Amino acid sequence: MKEQDCFRRFLFEELGVRGEWVRLQDSWQQAKQHQRLSDTAQEQLGQALAAVVLLSATIKFDGSLILQAQGAGALKTLVAQSTHDRKIRGLARCDGEVVAGKLSEMMGDGRLVITVEPKKGEPYQGVVSLAGDKLADVIISYFLQSEQLETKVWLFADETHAAGLFLQELPAQENYKDDWERVSVLANTVTKDEMLSLDSEEILYRLFNEEKVRLFEAEQVTFECSCSQKKIEGTLLTLGREELEGILQELSTIDVGCDFCGKKYSFDEVDVKNILYGRPVKKASQRQH
Ligand SMILES: [Zn+2]
């Protein structure tokens, strides 16, 4: 059976190198279906989603990991999010036509912020400049900066699939530099076609059939949006009373759509009062959404 929407770790037991592989199909198509994106922007979003799954598996945490790239170019924003149990969502925002090219040209000056939001405890962030030909290059420099670990990443996406491959030296492996070099050179021969169409075992066999690779259990990746009535209310609250009442003077309801999943939320005057002044003990206007 084909491995779709699937993530797997692997390990070169004798070399001090670990790896990860991911391929998305349905989750990728669901993640982008509510956005109108050019092929070029779509390809970047697919790569970001594959990347965020790989990143989410590099740390032990319970919560969400968010990759957010923001630049001054035509491709303004890329957001990709994965929970510890590989529930993903993402979006891209463009300002004009994104001409296919280097990431640094498409996104312009900017930065990539990686945020870990644990369910318990404070969020923490790492930031790296968007300088690089590809998103994968930016992620490689993020790991070099944040963990001083040699890392290699390959990311690919087309209309139907998104896939990623990740290699990282294990800490304290100075004696293994030759092995690291050999394995990364082998991995670098991987093609977009192979990554988007082959299962993990086939890929690993094609690339590393001379090496001893231990492949771990497959994990399912799914599209799931974490938006909720409560979160949207929180966002509305940040607009302030004047702004909200101003909108309601012109429109009977405030309608908000989630950019990630397309879900619609609607708030009328009573709802907005409840948001601003707290809900009455007796819920006068319980709405079904
Ligand atoms: Zn949503």
115 C-alpha vs ligand 1 centroid, how far in Å? 19
How many other C-beta atoms lie within 10 A of the C-beta of residue 27? 25
How many other C-beta atoms lie within 10 A of the C-beta of residue 224? 17
Structural contact between residues 78 and 68, judged by C-beta atoms closer than 8 angstroms? yes
Residue-wise pLDDT for 41-59, tens only, equals 999 999 999 999 999 999 9
The residues of the chain scoring below 70 in pLDDT are 1, 173-174, 279-289
- pLDDT recorded at residue 148: 86
Cα dist. 130→29, 77, 109, 164, 281 in Å? Answer: 26, 12, 7, 19, 50
89 C-alpha vs ligand 1 centroid, how far in Å? 9
Distance, CA of 250 to CA of 124 (rounded, Å): 40
258 C-alpha vs ligand 1 centroid, how far in Å? 5
DSSP symbols for 8-34:
EEEEETTTTEEEEEEEESHHHHHHHTT
Cβ contacts of 49 within 8 Å, gap of 6 or more:
24, 27, 28, 31, 80, 82, 88, 90, 157, 162
pTM: 0.91
- pLDDT recorded at residue 275: 87
222 C-alpha vs ligand 1 centroid, how far in Å? 14
Residue-wise pLDDT for 209-227, tens only, equals 999 999 999 999 999 999 9
157 C-alpha vs ligand 1 centroid, how far in Å? 22
147 C-alpha vs ligand 1 centroid, how far in Å? 33
DSSP class of residue 246 equals H
74 C-alpha vs ligand 1 centroid, how far in Å? 24
231 C-alpha vs ligand 1 centroid, how far in Å? 10
268 C-alpha vs ligand 1 centroid, how far in Å? 20
Distance, CA of 96 to CA of 81 (rounded, Å): 24
